[in-house]
Structures are given as C-alpha cells and as structure tokens.
Amino acid sequence: MNDCIFCKIVRGELPSFNVYENEKVLAFLDIHPVNPGHTLVIPKKHSPNIFEVLPEDWASVTETARMLAGVLEKTLSAKGVNLMMNNREHAGQLVEPTHVHIIPRFTDDT
Ligand code: DGP
C-alpha cells in the first residue's frame, strides 16, 4: 500500500466522481476543474510520470482519453477539447502519479 492520493482513489479510500474505468485505467472528475467535465485519466498501476509509466498502461490511458474526449464533447455540447499532461514539478505537475487532463472547451471560456 502507498500513500499516493490517486492510488487511494483507485482503492476507493478517497471519494471521487468516476467517469469511466476498465481493468487498467480510471477516469474521474478533477477536484479543481478548469471547465465543467474536466476529467483526469490515470493508470491503475502507480507510476510517477510519462518517463516511468508502463507502455501498455500508457496505451490504455491514451485510448481512454481519446474515447472520453469524444464522449465529453458530445454529452456536454462542448466546442472542442484540450488534452494535457504535466511531467515533473518544473513542468507544473502538482500530483505525482501519471495523469492526463481532458478539458472540454466552451464558447467564451478563455
Ligand atoms: P497537475 O499535477 O498540475 O497536472 O494537476 C493535478 C490535478 O489533480 C489538479 O488539477 C487537481 C487534481 N487533484 C488533486 N487532488 C485531487 C483529488 O484528491 N481528487 C481529484 N478528483 N482531483 C485532484
């Protein structure tokens, strides 16, 4: 067991609003959303960042992000979607585990 905040979410020890999951990934709403529907996709197996995530886990994360980008855009009537990832503190990574942001975009949201 580790104290990683997102691992606690995967284990159900912290609350989350889950959007999607399969055996390899979990997607849940960001606690500080930039826009409605701001979603994080993480591999269930802990890794710190893009440099250390297992290739098969990364493949599942990106395929899930691709799928959810379309689902979120359609269901929220968004005008577009940003996918974003921060790796290491200097690049803006605030929470250690590997995660990809999906941010729906709306008219006049800049
Ligand atoms: P970053 O490391 O800068 O790519 O962003 C981390 C994101 O994680 C930030 O947008 C807020 C989100 N976050 C941090 N703690 C929690 C949490 O406990 N639950 C959820 N749902 N999101 C969190």
Burial grade of 70 (CB within 10 A; 0-12, 13-18, 19 or more): exposed
Helical spans, DSSP H, in the chain? 5-10, 55-75
CA distance 89 to 96: 9
Residue 2 has pLDDT above 90, yes or no: no
Amino acid at 82: N
In the structure, what pLDDT confidence band is assigned to residue 4 with cuts at 50, 70 and 90? very high
Instruction: State in Å: Cα 97 to ligand 1 middle.
Output: 10
In the structure, what pLDDT confidence band is assigned to residue 110 with cuts at 50, 70 and 90? confident
CA distance 8 to 42: 12
Q: Determine which helix (DSSP H) or strand (DSSP E) holds 101, and give its type and residue range.
A: strand 100-105
The 10s digit of each residue's pLDDT in 64-79 is 999 999 999 999 999 9
Residue 1 has pLDDT above 70, yes or no: no
Q: Atom 20 (ligand 1): residue with closest C-alpha?
A: 31
Q: Catalytic one among 32, 46, 90, 99?
A: 99
Instruction: State in Å: Cα 55 to ligand 1 middle.
Output: 23
Nearest residue to 15 via CA among 31, 4, 3: 31
Residue 94 has pLDDT above 80, yes or no: yes
* pTM summary value: 0.97
In the structure, what pLDDT confidence band is assigned to residue 87 with cuts at 50, 70 and 90? very high
CA distances to 2, 5, 13, 84 from 103, rounded to whole Å, are 28, 21, 25, 8
Mean pLDDT of 31-54: 97
